[in-house]
Amino acid sequence: MIVDCAGKDLDLSHPQVMGILNVTPDSFSDGGLFLAQDSALAQAKQMVADGAGIIDVGGESTRPGAAIVSIEEEISRVVPVIEAIHSEIDIPISIDTSKPDVMRAAVQAGAGLINDVRALTVEGAVAAAVACDVPVCLMHAQGSPQTMQDDPRYDDVVANVIEFLTERVAVCEQAGIARDKLILDPGFGFGKRATHNLQLMKHLSKVIDQGLPVLVGVSRKSMIGKLLNVSVEERLAASLSLAALSVWQGAKIIRSHDVRETVQAIMMCDHVMNVS
C-alpha cells in the first residue's frame, strides 16, 4: 500500500518508522533540543539516514499537563522547519497538530500528512483537512492533554477506542475524505492508565482488523516508566519491545524518538513475519 503524502510516497507494504521532531521547549523527552531551524534540519537528516520513512514535526507538546500554545506561536515554530526539511529531504513530512490554521500553514509549507491527536474534533478541523487534501491520522484520546491523566475510565478500553475511531472515520468519509487517506492511532498514553495501555497493546490486532493502517506511538512513554520504574533516558529497550509487538500484530507505522534502533527492531520482526 502506497500512501500519497502530497507527492511524496509513504510505502506501507512494510512497516515504517515515523521520526519524532519536536520543535517545542517542553516536550517530555526532547523538549528544547531542536528549536533552532538548523538543529531541527540536522536532526531530520539524521533520522532519514537512520531509516525513517516519514518525519513528524510538532510545535505544541501534548504530554500530560502541557501548556496550550497559541496558533501564531505554533505556526512560527513549525513552518520554517517544515519548509527547510521539504526543500532538502525527499521523504514525507507530517504535521502533529489539532489546529485547523496550523494544518493549512503546515501543508502549504510542505507537510504531506496531518497527525491529529484530537482526530479532527476541533471546530473547523475536518474542513481544513478536506481543503488540505492530504492523508490524516486519527488518534483516540480521552480528555485534553491538560486533564487526560486525572482519572481515565473505560467500560472496555479496546471496544471504546475502536468505537470512537470508527465514528471519526465515518465523519471524515461523509465530509469527503477518502478512506484510503485515513490512518488510525489508538492513542497509547492519552487518557489511559497503564493497565489500559497494556490491554490495548495485547489486543492491538482488533484495531488493525478495522482495515485501515495503524500507527503506534509508545516511544519512551510514561507507561514504561510506571511499569518498569525507569527514567525517560532508560526506556529504549522497552520501547523497542512494544514496537516489535505492534508490528507483529500488523501495525504499519511506529512513531519513535530512536529511529535507528526502532528501524532495526521492526525490520527483524518484518523479516520473521515474511519468511516462507
**Residues with a known catalytic role:** 221, 255
Question: Cα separation of 118 and 125, whole Å?
Answer: 9
- As a whole number of angstroms, the distance between CA 237 and CA 221 comes to 12
| C-alpha separations of 25 from 34, 35, 75, 126, 233 in Å | 8, 7, 15, 28, 17
Q: How far is Cα 104 from Cα 127, in angstroms, rounded to an integer?
A: 10
Give the distance, in angstroms, between the CA of residue 212 and the centroid of all CA atoms in the same chain: 15
Task: Give the distance from CA 83 to its chain's centroid.
Answer: 20
Location of C-alpha cell 501543508: 107
Residue (of 219, 225, 229) closest to 258 by Cα position: 219
Torsion of CA 11, 210, 157, 14, to 10 degrees: -20
In the block, residue with C-alpha cell 527492531 = 265
- The rounded distance, in Å, linking the Cα atoms of 239 and 258 is 9
The single-letter code of the amino acid at 90 is: D
